[in-house]
Chains A and B, each alone.
Chain A
Amino acid sequence: MTIKWNGMGEIHLDVLKEVGNIGAGNAATALSKLISRDIDMKVPHARIVHFDQITELVGGPDAVVVAILLHINGDVQGSMFFILNEASAKELVKELLPTNDQTPNFTDLEFSALQEIGNILIGSYLTSLIDFTQLNMYHSVPSLAIDMAGAIVSYGLIELSQVGDYAMVIDTSFLDGSKEVEGHFFFLPDPESLNKIFRALGVPLDECH
């Protein structure tokens, strides 16, 4: 199956933006509760981008990032990343596990805290998507990696790369009040799943030519 990117109009991108808005909005609320701080969310982007451009959203393929990945299964399949730079991840973890440790490395406990943060945030993102679309989705346990953005994000592109060199990315970033924490959600639905989302939201691709 090939994706007809051409059949996709402004309305589809708007719908996906709304998906990102609702999902990340819920996740931001969850995060705000978790660390008892105000969280500002940026207006989400829904874009069709070339593989090489995806990593540019988080500082380039060489940038070291902390990423929590979950696979989405069910009616919709794909992957979801929650990506932070190292300083932001450190800051976030400090809120949960106060420490005097000034070293840039993460302890095992901090690793597991980050994994749990990712789990909670992506879980709330997904729950709101399920409510919104009435589609059945569930996610895998989280897996965490700290490495080059290119090496990490490419993993989420394996399915997509079999049909083309472009990915539909729903990107939402948020900042805490003092701008110390910046995080990105990437939702990368597998190609066959995109139209299911559109159909569930009343804007199937086929009828919009």
Chain B
Amino acid sequence: MNVIKVGMADLNIASSPDRIRTVGLGSCVGVALYDKITKIGGLAHIMLPSSTLNKGVLNVAKYADTAIPKLIDDMVKKGADSRRIIAKIAGGAQMFSFSSASEIMRIGPRNVEACKEALRHARIHLNCEDTGGNWGRTIEMDCSTGVLQVRSVNNGVKEF
């Protein structure tokens, strides 16, 4: 069994018995996709809601609206069936509280919304979520079962 690591603004896929992990999600959102028949999983560490914000060279893994279609595409190429893929998302916290609540401060909730929108658009069922709050999360999916483990510093470990 290997653990495949996904960095910030990065995405990757894995299959049973491997696990796929991303570390230190704050306002970023981790989108984990899973097809239980082929046991193929995908994970994206999304930083920003929309690629319309992009001003430089486009990294599709960074934005909710581009990362999710790319992840589905990569999984389908590996043999997954998009009709069976389900999603679990985690992250989207507000790590710092400032009195001036500008749009950029609300990036966590905006990321969560954008991910849900992109999933709806791709007709992927959102199975469960662990989002919001003001704490960081590390998530790991076991591709043999599709269980997503969410770890945090003060809020323990949860499994979905």
**Hey, which bits of chain A sit against chain B, CB under 8 A?**
1-3, 51-52, 55, 60-62, 64, 69, 71, 140-141, 143, 145-152, 154-155, 157-159, 161-165
Q: Are A158 and B47 in contact (CB under 8 A)?
A: yes
A103 to chain B, nearest CB (A): 14
Q: A151 CA to B59 CA in the complex, in Å?
A: 20
Name the segment of B19-27, B35-43, B74-82, B123-131 touching the other chain. B19-27
* Residues from chain A with Cβ under 8 Å of B47 in the complex: 154, 157-158, 161
Q: Are A141 and B99 in contact (CB under 8 A)?
A: yes
Q: Are B24 and A150 in contact (CB under 8 A)?
A: yes
* Residues from chain B with Cβ under 8 Å of A161 in the complex: 9, 47-48, 62
CB within 8 Å for A163 and B100 given contacts A51-B9, A52-B8, A154-B28: no
Q: Are A154 and B96 in contact (CB under 8 A)?
A: no
Q: Are B27 and A148 in contact (CB under 8 A)?
A: no
Q: A155 CA to B47 CA in the complex, in Å?
A: 9
* Residues from chain A with Cβ under 8 Å of B10 in the complex: 52
Q: Are A148 and B136 in contact (CB under 8 A)?
A: yes
B2 to chain A, nearest CB (A): 18
Q: How many A-B residue pairs have CB under 8 A?
A: 101
Q: Which of B26, B59, B97, B99 lies in contact with A165, CB distance below 8 A?
A: B59
* Residues from chain B with Cβ under 8 Å of A164 in the complex: 56-57
**Hey, which bits of chain B sit against chain A, CB under 8 A?**
7-10, 23-28, 47-48, 53-57, 59, 62, 93, 95-100, 104, 107, 134-138, 153
B58 to chain A, nearest CB (A): 10
A-B CB contact pairs (8 Å), 17 listed: A3-B56, A52-B7, A143-B97, A145-B96, A147-B26, A148-B137, A150-B8, A150-B26, A151-B137, A155-B26, A155-B95, A157-B47, A158-B48, A158-B104, A162-B54, A163-B56, A164-B56
Q: Which of A3, A62, A146 lies in contact with B23, CB distance below 8 A?
A: A62
Q: A124 CA to B107 CA in the complex, in Å?
A: 29
Q: Are A150 and B96 in contact (CB under 8 A)?
A: no
Q: Pick the 10 closest A-B CB pairs, nearest first.
A: A150-B24, A151-B136, A151-B26, A61-B24, A148-B136, A143-B96, A147-B136, A148-B24, A163-B56, A61-B23
- Nearest residue, chain A, Cβ from B137: A151
Q: Are A150 and B153 in contact (CB under 8 A)?
A: no
* Residues from chain A with Cβ under 8 Å of B96 in the complex: 69, 143, 145, 155
CB within 8 Å for A150 and B48 given contacts A52-B7, A145-B134, A161-B62: no
Q: Which of B28, B55, B93, B138 lies in contact with A62, CB distance below 8 A?
A: B138
Q: Are A162 and B8 in contact (CB under 8 A)?
A: no
Q: Are B93 and A2 in contact (CB under 8 A)?
A: no
Q: Which of B27, B53, B100, B135 lies in contact with A154, CB distance below 8 A?
A: B27
Q: A152 CA to B96 CA in the complex, in Å?
A: 8
User: Which of A154, A157, A162, A165 has most chain B Cβ within 10 Å?
Assistant: A154
CB within 8 Å for A51 and B48 given contacts A146-B153, A151-B93: no
Q: A157 CA to B104 CA in the complex, in Å?
A: 11
A3 to chain B, nearest CB (A): 8
Q: Which of A64, A158, A162 lies in contact with B27, CB distance below 8 A?
A: A158
Q: Are A151 and B25 in contact (CB under 8 A)?
A: yes
- Nearest residue, chain B, Cβ from A1: B55
Q: A148 CA to B27 CA in the complex, in Å?
A: 12
